[in-house]
Amino acid sequence: MARTLPRTDVAIIGLGWTGAILAYELSGAGLNVVAIERGAWRDTATDFPPSWAPDELRYAIRLDLFQRPAQSTVTLRNKISQTALPVRQFSSFLPGDGVGGAGVHWNGMTYRFLETDFRLRSHLTKRYGSHILPEDMTIQDWPVDYKDLEPHYDRFEKLAGISGKAGNIDGKIQPGGNPFEAPRSAEYPTPANKQPLGSTLYSKAAKSLGYHPFPVPSGNLSQSYTNPLGVTLGQCTYCGFCERFGCGNYSKASPQTRVLPALMLRKNFEARTNCNVTRINLDSTGKKATGVTYVDKSGETWVQPADMVMVCAFAFNCVHLLLVSGIGKPYDPVSNTGTVGRNYAYQCTSGVLVKLKDTILNPFISGGAIGMSVDDFNGDNFDHSGLGFVGGGVISATQTGGRPIGQISYFPDDPKWGSGWKKATKENYQSVYALGIQGSVYSYRDAYLDLDPTYKDPYGSPLLRMTFDWHENELKMSAFVTKKLAGIGKAMGASRLAAYPRTAPYSVVPYQTTHNTGGAVMGDNPSNSVVNRYLQSWDVSNVFVFGASVFPQNAGYNPTGTVGATTYWALDAIKTKYLKNPGPMVPM
């Protein structure tokens, strides 16, 4: 029997980046805020200090900081005609868990999307004609423009202290930065990182081909920095343990190192950990949320009444909560009705291996977001006429670490075990560099999320079912952009090279990326979206959804910068409009 707790103004589900930012801002506005987090509390000195943070087995192989599939997972099928089976062990994507969420174990790459990414459908049809888009492609314009988000991108970058070099300040192209980026109002808060050998060689080669390399905007800080909340972050020591790890010396931007110290001083904020929200409760009209129900770690059920419910979990879990709570109409691809679960997208990653002569790459001297990128083949930065696809990706040299179990690259004909493997391992470690692409994935009628009919989580709810496969457009994009990357690899003087464009079908086995997006997308009307331009549910106006599940389709960049920007954008509207006059902020 559920017990009911005293009412609060705001209940936040999930205490990662978006939950922490919301909690700080809304408690600052005088509201009582309770954050309910499924995982444990985590802090630097206790959970991942430098002495034992660099433990590849524990963190990168056994995935200590990640969601346990036993607690929550998804089922997968490639086609509607197939039977979905549970992802019993995460590997293609790795949802985070615990306080800080994915912000603890991320690499720190903090891009802004392109101006054209936000008006994707209208831009592409205007430039190329509507025939360029496949019939089943369901991309749509964002209900916000880059200009709306610019101040909020800036705000998130200043919160995190991002290190980088601007390429376009107020329309003026800046040498050394990304000339394709949308105009920024300011330089990055901290200068670009120093570059190791591999990305330096990449940058030189890209330049020789006429491309425009720029330093990856990085949450691994080039120097100490105090953010507007007064919280100080340290200088990155290039230890090479960002990806899948917590940072031991306060130098990677995370909710822990950027927001929580200031948030926890707020008397009107409380965090509850090891508490799993199982549903958002609605009143009898179904139009208003009354709070949330959660199960604590002893298995006891609690009801937390709240005036506002902020859904700040990982993309999958946000969509799952909406579906099990009956908020919005579930998407049905056959009848093409409903919206919840629609436009699930992913990221189409691919890579190129290059073997470099006479190099000592020291791959262990690195950071998650330290490297160089080229944006010449991202989004619509290049002419797609006659190419047979739309979209693109950021192509980068970012060796995130030199972890020996998982990060040594081999060519297909290298021996697989025995003395030959040992020889190849030793040689490749210092000479083989893996270049990579974060490719866009556009949305389609048959790529979506709904509830699985068979498999359930430990709380008795159906698992989320993912129906997803690669489409012709993305495979062609991947082939094209990977070829361009291979060209840079050749120009690096590679003595051997192997290109790996993405191939179908989609598989959950090899790690690709944790940039799962969509399912609760934002849009300009209730027929094409779950939330409005202020991330407010069309159906239940005191429920808001944050994070990448609101992206209408995925761009060719890491998502965190845009997650931060959309969060601050919506917060502004909540503070200036909603709190004064609770109710729908966009008329239906």
Residues annotated as catalytic are 515
Q: Among 2, 4, 68, 126, which residue sits at the site for other proteins (rule: CB under 8 A)?
A: 68
Closest of 585, 571, 437, 442 to residue 518, by C-alpha: 442
Tokens found for residue 493: 């003087």
Q: Rule CB under 8 A: which of 340-359 touch other proteins? A: 358-359
Scanning 46-54, 384-392, 442-450, 556-564 for contacts with other proteins by CB under 8 A, the matching segment is 46-54
d(CA 475, CA 55): 36
Nearer to other proteins, 49 or 176 (CB): 49
* Residue 414 binding other proteins, by CB under 8 A: no
Residue 516 DSSP one-character state: -
Which residues are CB-neighbours of 351 under 8 A, at least 6 positions away?
434, 435, 436, 437, 482, 485, 499, 500
Contact between 455 and other proteins (CB under 8 A)? Answer: yes
Q: Which positions from 140 through 159 interact with other proteins, judged by CB under 8 A? A: none
Residue 215 interacts with other proteins (CB under 8 A): yes or no: no
3-state secondary structure of 447: coil
| Of 143, 18, 4, 95, residue with least CA distance to 544 | 18
380 binds other proteins (CB under 8 A): no
Q: In 15-64, where does DSSP find H-type helix?
A: 17-28, 44-47
Q: How far apart are CA 398 and CA 390, in angstroms?
A: 25
Radius of gyration of the chain (CA): 23
User: Please, what is the minimum distance in Å from the beta carbon of residue 70 to other proteins?
Assistant: 5
The answer to whether 48 and 247 have CB atoms below 8 angstroms apart is yes
**Considering only residues 56, 181, 307, 539, which one is a binding residue for other proteins as defined by CB under 8 A?**
56
**Which listed residue (81, 416, 576, 587) binds other proteins by CB under 8 A?**
416
Longest pairwise C-alpha distance within the chain: 71
* Shortest distance (Å) from residue 238 CB to other proteins: 4
For other proteins, give the closer residue by CB, 364 or 569.
364
Please say which residue, 248 or 328, places its beta carbon nearer to other proteins: 248
3-state secondary structure labels for all residues of 123-179? HHHHHHCHHHCCCCECCCCCCCCHHHHHHHHHHHHHHHCCECCCCEECCEECCCCCC
Q: What is the DSSP code (8-state) at residue 554?
A: B
Which two tokens mark 523? Answer: 């849009």
**Taking CB under 8 A as the criterion, which residues in 516-555 touch other proteins?**
none
User: What type of residue is 82?
Assistant: Q
Task: Determine contact, residues 114/380, Cβ cutoff 8 Å.
Answer: yes
33 binds other proteins (CB under 8 A): no
298 near other proteins, judged by CB under 8 A: yes
| 340 vs 434 by CB, closer to other proteins | 434
Contacting other proteins (CB under 8 A), which of 106, 156, 364, 544? 364
In whole angstroms, the minimum distance from the beta carbon of 587 to other proteins comes to 39
Q: Is 19 in the site for other proteins (CB under 8 A)?
A: no
Report the nearest approach of other proteins to the CB of residue 294 (Å). Answer: 9
At residue 125, what are phi and psi to the nearest 5 degrees? Answer: -70, -35
Considering only residues 88 to 117 of the shown chain, the ones binding other proteins according to CB under 8 A are 88-89, 91, 98
Question: Judged by CB under 8 A, does residue 46 bind other proteins?
Answer: yes
The SS3 call for residue 9 is: strand
Tokens of 497: 């090279």
Residue from 132, 387, 408, 586 in contact with other proteins (CB under 8 A): 408
Instruction: Compute how many residues bind other proteins; rule: CB under 8 A.
Output: 109
Side-chain-side CA neighbours of residue 167 (13 Å):
19
From the list 239-247, 384-392, 547-555, 579-587, the region that binds other proteins by CB under 8 A is: 239-247
Binding residue for other proteins (CB under 8 A) from 316, 448, 506, 578? 506
Show contacts with other proteins in window 254-293 (CB under 8 A). Answer: 260-262, 264-265, 267, 269-275
The residue range among 79-87, 108-116, 373-381, 567-575 that interacts with other proteins, by the rule CB under 8 A, is 79-87
Q: Minimal distance in Å, beta carbon 296 to other proteins?
A: 5
Least Cα distance to 327 among 537, 505, 172, 152 occurs for: 537
- From the list 101-109, 171-179, 247-255, 520-528, the region that binds other proteins by CB under 8 A is 247-255
